Amino acid sequence: ELRANPDRAAEATVIEAKLDKGKGPLATVLVNRGTLKVGDILVVGTQSGRVRAMHDDKGRQIKEAGPSLPVEVLGLGGVPMAGDTLTVVESEARAREVAAYRHERATAKRTAQAPASLENMFSALAAKSTVIEYALVVRGDVQGSVEAIVNALNKISTDEIKVRILSSGVGAITESDVNLAQASGAPIVGFNVRPNAKARELIERNKVRMKYFDVIYQLTDDIRSEMAGELGPEAIETVVGRAEVKEVFPAGKKDKAAGLLVVEGAIRKGLHARLTRNDVIVSRTTIQSLRRFKDDVAEVRGGLECGVLLTDTNDIKPGNQLEVFEVEMRDRTL
């Protein structure tokens, strides 16, 4: 039977982390090896600290925790990430040294960019010019919530519009969050958190948009709706009729009218139309007037002949095809 050694220096895994308004950074950890004790100096991810207090899963204060025990740890210098490894070290100097090194490595990893070919660079520029970016600043009460929100928001992105999270973090909304949002025109999304006093002043002074939520699906539904609004309504075309140009004749000093045979559906006055020649679009236009013999009519159905005047279209020839369609503007959905 394999058993963890309770006498060695402790190692643990962060299950959850958050910034508590009264207690500061808190981390719930599961001890993997050794025994974690109050007073131990530790490194966890890019953070360091000393265990000031521990509580078990029932909220009772304890002085030490052995293998397989989940405990809440107070005394960290910052909020770690879920999944980070907590390691007990011999001194505060060593803890700060390791944390600083990890921080530098993490920063270098974020800023490092892979070499790009000219083709990749041009492709990226072309994509950037056509894709709308919806920027956000995200703050949440616990690390797990922030990660879930970021993942959910990224899944909303489409080929036309993408979520760009400028910053995400745990704890109260800060002045730096507000300054970033103001500079970029982005809203701040707060999940079970509110701004601190200085941040509130900046928000009111600079009219920064704030969004507060306590349910993730309501948050994503709201952002999805806003992103769809950024795209604007979508034009839905429904073809209602097709006709063939049989003859062309003058109409007034400059215009040309066309005699048509309706071959499918119906032609209606005022509708949008595409005039094509050899399957190439010659003109996008509208049915300005519609006549059957000498009478103005609203509609001519399949199998009948009629005369039309097309808006701003004089390049018409016998044999051209006319496709007539309705356009409905619908709100976008993502």
Domains of the chain, CATH where assigned: 11-108 (2.40.30.10), 121-231 (3.40.50.10050), 235-330 (2.40.30.10)
Helix ranges (H only) for the chain are 92-111, 118-130, 143-154, 175-184, 197-206, 216-231
User: Residue 329 corresponds to which tokens in the numbers above?
Assistant: 């503007």
pLDDT in tens, the chain (334 residues): 344 556 678 899 888 888 887 888 999 999 888 999 999 999 998 899 999 999 998 899 999 999 888 899 999 988 888 888 899 999 999 888 888 888 887 766 655 544 545 555 555 555 555 788 899 999 999 888 999 999 999 999 998 899 999 888 888 898 888 988 888 889 999 999 999 999 999 999 999 999 999 999 999 999 999 999 888 888 899 999 999 999 998 887 778 899 999 999 999 999 999 999 999 999 999 999 999 998 999 999 999 999 999 988 888 999 999 999 999 988 888 8
For the CA atoms of 89, 93, 99, 105, the dihedral, rounded to the nearest 10 degrees, stands at -120
Decide: 145 and 114 in contact? Cβ < 8 Å.
no
User: Residue 106 corresponds to which tokens in the numbers above?
Assistant: 């993490």
